[in-house]
């Protein structure tokens, strides 16, 4: 496929959605994220996995937009989804909340380029799905969980404060903690090295409205190093403690107005 602009790709995707021969429903601002996250796969041989088939509409949308070379795999717990095999889609039937299921499913899927979860949307399902997809990633790829709105919704509140969004925000700490060896004695002790291991191939975690994307690249699995391009002859003075020593801000919490003072400076 010749290079198309972001806007063209976005228009094509909206058209593929509207023209899908089967019903599908998506939140309108997801299309922007899809183009950012999956646009590079258009016209290429790739493996695209979506958990959540329902009426099959999104399977046709992905095929129309990505192109005929794409292997589109749909996953659903409803055995009725198997009928879409007759239309050239790979369909795997199973329960995304069960890690054992993923063991077998990823054996069948093999290396994948993109994984999108639009399944049951309960936090534990989203967490197990993200963890298993990240564990089974074998090459540069992206693992995307959508409908993170359920982290706040009453219908899904049995997760209490262990929502998928809280899991994802905590995972961003792991990305930073893998640099703790640069700063001896500065970080809390890493008592859970397993968490660093789990996310070591994740190079970024991107938050969109209703979507979290984990970008994976095995090349980043190396422990990061602190690099000078060249040693300075004489280090300039760093003025970080010469300025104001605090800021009062409204914390970005949509549910509570919270004005807080964030202190800085040094003793």
Ligand X SMILES: C[S@@+](CC[C@H](N)C(=O)[O-])C[C@H]1O[C@@H](n2cnc3c(N)ncnc32)[C@H](O)[C@@H]1O
Q: Based on CB atoms, which residue is closest to ligand X, 9 or 51?
A: 51
Residue number of the CB atom closest to ligand X: 120
Closest approach of ligand X to the CB of residue 253, in Å: 28
CB-nearer residue toward ligand X: 76 or 113: 76
Per the CB < 8 A criterion, the answer to whether 113 and 141 are in contact is yes
Complex with ligand X: residue 117 or 174, whichever CB lies closer: 117
- Cα distance between residue 228 and residue 162, in whole Å: 40
* Between 19 and 78, CB nearer to ligand X: 78
Residues of the shown chain interacting with ligand X in the complex, contacts defined by CB under 6 A? 24-26, 50-55, 57-58, 75-78, 95-97, 118-120, 125
Quote the least distance from Cβ 16 to ligand X, whole Å: 12
**30 vs 199, which CB is nearer to ligand X?**
30
Q: CA-CA distance, 114 to 214, in Å (whole number)?
A: 10
Shortest Cβ 30–ligand X spacing (Å): 9
> Checking phi first, is residue 71 left (phi over 0); if not, alpha (psi -120 to 50) or beta?
beta
Report, in this order, helix, strand and coil percent for the chain, each rounded to 5: 40, 20, 40
What's the CA gap between 182 and 225, in Å, rounded?
A: 8
Q: Residue 53 or 211: which CB sits closer to ligand X? A: 53
Q: How far is the CB of 119 from ligand X (least distance, A)?
A: 4
We find the least distance from the C-beta atom of residue 234 to ligand X, in angstroms, to be: 60
- State in angstroms the smallest separation of the CB of 135 from ligand X: 18
Burial 217-229 (b: 16+ CB within 10 A, else e): eeebeeeeeeeee
């Amino acid at each position: 496929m010749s290079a198309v602009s972001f806007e063209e790709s976005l228009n094509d995707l909206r058209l593929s959605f509207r023209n899908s021969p089967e019903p599908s429903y998506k939140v309108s601002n997801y299309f922007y994220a899809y183009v950012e996250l999956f646009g590079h796969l258009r016209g290429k041989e790739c493996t695209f996995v979506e958990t959540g088939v329902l009426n099959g509409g999104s399977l046709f949308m992905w095929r129309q937009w990505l192109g005929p070379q794409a292997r589109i795999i749909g996953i659903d717990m409803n055995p009725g989804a198997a009928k879409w095999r007759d239309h050239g889609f790979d369909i795997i039937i199973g329960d995304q909340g069960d890690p054992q299921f993923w063991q077998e499913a990823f054996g069948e899927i093999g290396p994948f380029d993109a994984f999108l979860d639009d399944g049951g949307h309960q936090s534990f399902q989203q967490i197990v799905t993200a963890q298993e997809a990240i564990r089974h990633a074998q090459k540069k790829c992206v693992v995307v969980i959508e409908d993170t709105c359920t982290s706040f919704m009453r219908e899904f509140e049995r997760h209490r404060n262990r929502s998928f969004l809280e899991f994802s925000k905590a995972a961003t700490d792991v990305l930073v903690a893998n640099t703790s060896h640069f700063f001896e004695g500065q970080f809390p002790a890493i008592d859970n090295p397993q968490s660093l291991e789990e996310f070591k191939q994740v190079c970024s975690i991107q938050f969109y409205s209703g979507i979290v994307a984990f970008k994976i690249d095995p090349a980043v699995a190396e422990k990061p190093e602190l690099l000078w391009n060249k040693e300075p002859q004489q280090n300039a003075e760093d003025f970080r403690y010469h300025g104001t020593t605090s800021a009062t801000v409204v914390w970005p919490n949509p549910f509570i107005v919270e004005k807080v003072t964030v202190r800085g400076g040094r003793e």
